Amino acid sequence: MAVMTDTQTPVRSAPAPVRRRSKRVSRPSALYLLPALVFFGIFAALPLVLVLYLSFTDWTGVGTPGLIGLDNWIRLFQNQAIWDVTWTTLLLTALCWATQTPMAILIGVWAAGEQRNRAVLSALFFLPLLLSTAAIALLYNRLFDPYLGIGRGFEPLRNILGTTSGAITAIVIVVGWQFIPFHTLLYQAAARNIPKVLYDAATVDGAGRWHMFWYVTLPQLRNTVVTSSTIMIVGSLTYFETIFLLTNGGPASSTRTLPLEMYFRGFKQYEFGFASAIGSVLVIVATAISLLIVRFSGFGKMRSTLEGL
């Protein structure tokens, strides 16, 4: 602001000091976090601590747990059956990711378009999200029944749950049928946020539909791919109801996973201490995989794909 003196010489006043915002969280804002922190502490942190404690005991589900040190952990890593179950868990996780990810991307990109009847077909496709996991598993269990299901009229599927490869394939199909729609929603939302000017520029350069998808759409979906993959992999490591109701870990124990093994050890053999050690390993593995995905994908350093537009 200029001030005129008697000699008509403008004199500029000093600028007002700029107040810097404090980075400290205000007390009302901190109070807003309190319900979430209490909920997380009661239903997540506290159970994890209790499970870790029980992994060092010989608790059978009744009485007072007795501390036995590292016996359960030593037994865990020396048990060949646990290694076989771990391999089955990782195999199912890899197969679920490899089948669900490309299908979810393709359907999500299609659902984000403006095709005729797209909204109606998308709504029908998303119906599995509304169904119970237990109901879906029981439905497919009857569907794959060799005497009452589709195997009765189609011989190649007659004994699909009676072989190792067939049972694993059935699990991948059922899990994909239920959860692909969820990941499709993620890709649909991300595809709709891709700026149209990128496709216009690709069209001017003479790019076809496949080149647009490969060089424009997929790079713009990289953040969503990392997010979806993390959810998918961690979720695959904890599948229980589908496998329990569909195959019960069979044939023999070829489809028994870590969550199912934890259930059998705890509620069938009453080895809750050993089952808690399995649960602790499952949490550690899931957390480690999540951190590795974030670390090597560069997700933490990614910027908005809309920057500069």
Report if residue 62 sits inside a domain: no
Continuous segment of H or E residues that includes residue 10: strand 10-12
pLDDT attached to residue 174: 94
pLDDT attached to residue 23: 53
Greatest pairwise CA separation for the chain in angstroms: 108
The residue behind tokens 């200029």 is 2
CATH code for position 243? 1.10.3720.10
Report if residue 54 sits inside a domain: no
pLDDT attached to residue 109: 92
pLDDT attached to residue 67: 93
Question: Quick check: helix, strand or coil at residue 57?
Answer: strand
Show the domain range for 185: 80-301
pLDDT attached to residue 169: 93
pLDDT attached to residue 28: 64
Report if residue 17 sits inside a domain: no
Report if residue 212 sits inside a domain: yes
Report if residue 242 sits inside a domain: yes
Report if residue 217 sits inside a domain: yes
pLDDT attached to residue 138: 93
Report the chain's terminal Cα–Cα distance, integer Å: 36
Taking the chain (309 residues) in runs of 10, the rounded mean pLDDT of each run is: 50 55 60 88 93 94 91 94 93 94 93 80 85 92 84 74 91 94 93 91 88 92 92 89 92 92 94 95 90 76 54
**How many domains does the chain contain in total?**
1
Q: How far apart are CA 113 and CA 121, in angstroms?
A: 12
pLDDT attached to residue 103: 95
pLDDT attached to residue 1: 47
pLDDT attached to residue 231: 92
pTM for the model: 0.83
Report if residue 33 sits inside a domain: no
pLDDT attached to residue 66: 92
Residue pair 116/223 in contact by the 8 Å Cβ criterion: no
Report if residue 275 sits inside a domain: yes
Looking at residue 218, its amino acid is L
pLDDT attached to residue 134: 92
Helix, strand, coil share of the chain (percent; to 5):
70, 5, 30
pLDDT attached to residue 101: 95
Q: How far apart are CA 234 and CA 89, in angstroms?
A: 11
Number of other residues whose CB lies within 10 A of the CB of residue 251: 15
Q: Quote the tokens at residue 121.
A: 């077909």
CA angle (95 as vertex; 89, 101 as ends), nearest 5: 125
pLDDT attached to residue 139: 92
